[in-house]
Amino acid sequence: MKFVGIIPARYASTRFPAKVLADLNGKTVIQRVYEQVKDCFDDLYIATDDERIADVVKSFGGKVVMTSENCKNGTERCYEACCKENIEADVIINIQGDEPFIQRKQVEALMSCFNDERTDIATLVKPFEAGDGWERLSNPNTPKVVLNEDNFAMYFSRSVIPYLRGIEQEEWLSNHTFYKHLGIYAYRLDVLKKLTSLPQTTLEKMESLEQLRWLEKGFKIKVGITDIETVGIDTPEDLERAKEFAASIGLRWDK
């Protein structure tokens, strides 16, 4: 199968404008992301709506596609990039532009989901650990997902799912494996085209999770499981946390 990676990277961000251009140990965040995954794909593009990002991408030798400021999300930006570049692939993998710690093993876990012919879309989850505690588990900014026995997603929620009846909340993590959703997606190319034309659905609006639209419309989302921790960058504080995380795991990027 032919896999093509696309990294959507927009300039505007409510909590941290231009975050993909922020310095992370001597290189921009977007370059860190690109270099983490550049050897994983048959081809790799960065899709942006801003010339400043495009200039930085060109400076480190990346392929850039200019896309509209009107894209509502990364999924739409990926599809627009596919159309503009006439990309031919079996699967498009959407790499978040603010995830500089993504690992090759995680990309490979996504790719392996398409060995199952039933897979329309793939995504990743990481099991919560017993030491994470109730506060992390119940954080609504960290979506959770429940899986069926074939590792297809049954439902995503900002609430803690499933509910463990008769067990104190402080004991839930030691009585069940809960899965934290990581926002990286892969789509069969024909499926990606269909997703961009779907209207919003009730569950999506209620939870503010676009993947619920896909489930409501009958698409099958295969889930890969990873034990690798990542740190996304949504705020200036997250950037500092990322630097600390790099040091804590002994990561020494070449500058």
What are the sequence ranges of the domains in the chain? 3-238
User: If 0-12 CB within 10 Å is exposed, 13-18 middle and 19+ buried, where does residue 13 land?
Assistant: middle
Q: d(Cα 52, Cα 18) in Å, to the nearest integer?
A: 9
Q: What is the pLDDT of residue 205?
A: 96
Q: d(Cα 114, Cα 213) in Å, to the nearest integer?
A: 21
Residue type, 121: I
Q: What is the pLDDT of residue 247?
A: 82
Q: What is the pLDDT of residue 249?
A: 72
Q: What is the pLDDT of residue 254?
A: 53
Asked whether the beta carbons of 44 and 66 are under 8 A apart, the reply is no
Q: d(Cα 4, Cα 82) in Å, to the nearest integer?
A: 10
Residue type, 234: D
Q: What is the pLDDT of residue 253?
A: 60
Asked whether the beta carbons of 185 and 123 are under 8 A apart, the reply is yes
What pLDDT tens digit does each residue of the chain (255 aa) get?
999 999 999 898 777 889 999 999 899 999 999 999 999 998 999 999 999 999 999 999 999 999 998 898 999 999 999 999 999 999 999 999 999 999 999 999 999 999 999 999 999 999 999 999 999 999 998 999 999 999 999 999 999 999 999 999 999 999 999 999 998 999 999 999 999 999 999 999 999 999 999 999 999 999 999 998 777 888 889 899 888 888 887 666 654
Q: What is the pLDDT of residue 255?
A: 47
Nearest to 253, CA basis, from 31, 3, 105, 72: 31
Kindly state which CATH superfamily the domain 3-238 is placed in. Spore Coat Polysaccharide Biosynthesis Protein SpsA; Chain A (3.90.550.10)
Q: What is the pLDDT of residue 127?
A: 97
Q: d(Cα 192, Cα 180) in Å, to the nearest integer?
A: 23
